[in-house]
Chains A and B, each alone.
Chain A
């Protein structure tokens, strides 16, 4: 009865941030610094994104190769997104949007490799990102429109009696952007990865049973493969949605309504 020895770990264990290498030293008022799996995979992400663009660079040759075609077409689609959403005169935001998209996309894709760590599944990364963007966008709007920025909270044509109530509602909905942007990303990634972990635990149990059950398990395994494909699609969709929303927040900040 070896099955009794089997322990099902929490499916949320994969999201735990653990220290890989740590340094505790009684200097500088008890220094504690450590490289966590989150830090390691962030460094890996940086290396992969920079490496992709370094290796995919066509070196000013006329005929592109397959790598530079894919990079150029993703640049073209992000560029057209920025021009459509924020406006042709505001292409200065393209580098920001481009790097944001590749950060989230490659981070999501790395997390789909078995045994790897999903950095976009940690609330601190996603919320840190979205709150930083929110503060930046608000500062941008304040610096462009000065005091007129606050007219953003009063929809045009509001009766004066309703203004206090509407300002409150608009203020809450504006502030909710800071959270919703990050929560949307990390909730999607956490949900997908947890589902895959739970299902793969079941499949492992079924496959390690007797032969007939193992052969029959190929049917749910097919569905599981489909779900992995869905998770890959989520990786792309979520990074696209995040950049699209950042674009629309920037447009709101620049154009007010």
Chain B
């Protein structure tokens, strides 16, 4: 039987040979050195915690992201609205003026 025919029959069993150091660079692995170079320089370990001052670093960046700014905004809008309402007419109703 022809060799290639056998291989085609067994094609479902034998995984195809996609890449190996030998195929890519004649066994020496030289062709992979740019890749190795690139990946070895990437930072390792967990990402550094967000440092720095300012609102963004404290409440938004990295793992510091929290919902606190939303709560603060809601309270801020409430305070603004209440102040305006109070100055516009609530203070006139304080002692049941009507």
By a beta-carbon cutoff of 8 Å, the part of chain A in contact with chain B is: 2, 5-7, 18, 20, 37, 44, 48, 55-56, 59, 61, 63, 65-67, 110, 113-117
Of A5, A113, A117, the most chain B CB neighbours within 10 A belong to A113
Interface status of B29 (Cβ within 8 A of chain A): no
Given A18-B88, A55-B60, A117:B81 Cβ within 8 A: yes
Please choose the segment from B3-11, B13-21, B30-38, B69-77 that sits at the chain A interface, where 4 or more of its residues have CB less than 8 A away: B69-77
**B47 x A20 contact (CB < 8 A):** no
Task: Please give, as numbers and ranges, the residues of chain B lying within 8 Å of A7 by CB-CB distance.
Answer: 93, 98
The CA of A6 and the CA of B62, in the complex, are separated in Å by: 52
B81 contacts A114, C-beta separation under 8 Å? yes
Contacts of A48 in B (CB 8 A): 73
**B56 contacts A115, CB within 8 Å?**
no
- Residues on B with C-beta less than 8 A from A110 are 77
Interface class of chain A by DSSP: loop
Nearest CB to that of B96 among chain A residues? Answer: A5
Q: Is the CB of B81 within 8 A of A116?
A: yes
A55 touches B55 (CB 8 A): yes
Query: When chains A and B are docked, how far (Å) is the Cα of A115 from the Cα of B75?
Result: 11
The reply to whether B78 and A114 contact each other, CB–CB distance below 8 Å, is yes
